[in-house]
């Protein structure tokens, strides 16, 4: 599953490439424009921050937010190596970024919100910091079918793996709507199978997250998808 073009990969320092664990390329479908302010929820080692910063240009700004200080330190290193001056990196919880209301044009996230126990709070926070008419561009992992409760509990035992916090797709869309977003548009969807499914279940790597049992992976084969989508914070008085 090719997520990034060769041109995109060529401008990202190795520091960020080595830590890239996403399931999509949100800056590629966010329609980023020069001068915009973008916030990356769960920026990790900085891959999407760097790509977004190049797209918004020197008069724009990108804020990367991650709760893990070691990741932010790596992202700072990557941003410095990339020679970028329009990036700010913050150690914050995604539910409480402490960024100002109505202060950003775009919120990006790449396979991170599925890891958050309180997804409603994360999307409410994204809604709060976006200006009216602002948008989210998200890649994430969802369940396309119900799975047995005991199977889900086994995946939750290794929450860092992207299946641990994944919820059903219908509930995911409801979460976004409850936060106030409208105009959900699915850009692409991809069923995770085989080696890709196993890698996602052991994200960010087997040295951090023990791989699930092969039988458990077999039971969710065809029931897990990567979805890429956008949604909009409507302006006052606008209707969906």
- From the CB of residue 31, how many other CB atoms can be counted at a distance below 10 Å? 12
pLDDT tens digits, residue range 40-66? 999 989 999 999 999 999 999 999 999
Q: Name the percent of the chain lying above pLDDT 90.
A: 62
- Angle at the Cα of 79 from the Cα atoms of 88 and 190, rounded to 5 degrees: 90
Class of domain 6-144+165-191+224-232: alpha beta
87 within 8 A of 79, measured Cβ to Cβ: yes
Please give the pLDDT value at position 208: 62
Q: Both tokens of residue 36?
A: 């915009």
- From the CB of residue 215, how many other CB atoms can be counted at a distance below 10 Å? 8
Nearest to 190 by CA among 224, 154, 235: 224
Cα separation, 87 vs 185, in Å, equals: 28
pTM of the predicted protein model: 0.90
At 94, is the pLDDT very low, low, confident or very high (cuts 50, 70, 90)?
Answer: very high
pLDDT tens digits, residue range 154-191? 888 765 567 878 899 999 999 999 999 999 999 999 99
Helix (H) or strand (E) holding 79: helix 69-81
The domain locations on the chain are: 6-144+165-191+224-232
In this model, does residue 144 exceed pLDDT 50?
A: yes
203 within 8 A of 114, measured Cβ to Cβ: no
Task: Reduce the DSSP state of residue 150 to 3 states and report it.
Answer: helix
Mean pLDDT of 122-144: 97
Q: Both tokens of residue 174?
A: 């409801």
């Amino acid at each position: 599953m090719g997520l990034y073009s060769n041109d995109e990969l060529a401008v990202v320092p190795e520091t960020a490439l080595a830590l890239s664990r996403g399931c999509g390329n949100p800056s590629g479908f966010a329609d980023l424009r020069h001068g915009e302010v973008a916030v990356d929820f769960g920026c990790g080692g900085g891959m999407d921050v760097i790509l977004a910063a190049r797209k918004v240009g020197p008069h724009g700004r990108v804020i990367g937010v991650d709760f893990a200080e070691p990741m932010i330190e790596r992202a700072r290193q990557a941003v410095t190596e990339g020679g970028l001056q329009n990036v700010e990196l913050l150690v914050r919880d995604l539910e409480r970024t402490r960024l100002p209301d109505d202060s950003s044009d775009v919120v990006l996230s790449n396979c991170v919100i599925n890891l958050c126990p309180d997804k409603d709070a994360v999307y409410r926070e994204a809604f709060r910091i976006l200006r009216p008419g602002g948008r989210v561009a998200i890649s994430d992992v969802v369940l396309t079918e119900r799975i047995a409760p005991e199977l889900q509990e086994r995946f939750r035992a290794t929450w860092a793996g992207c299946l641990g916090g994944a919820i059903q797709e219908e509930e995911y869309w409801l979460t976004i709507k409850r936060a106030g977003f409208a105009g959900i548009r699915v850009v692409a969807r991809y069923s995770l199978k085989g080696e890709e499914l196993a890698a996602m279940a052991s994200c960010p790597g087997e040295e951090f997250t023990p791989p699930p049992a092969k039988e458990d992976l077999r039971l969710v084969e065809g029931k897990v998808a990567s979805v890429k989508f956008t949604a909009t914070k409507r302006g006052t008085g606008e209707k969906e």
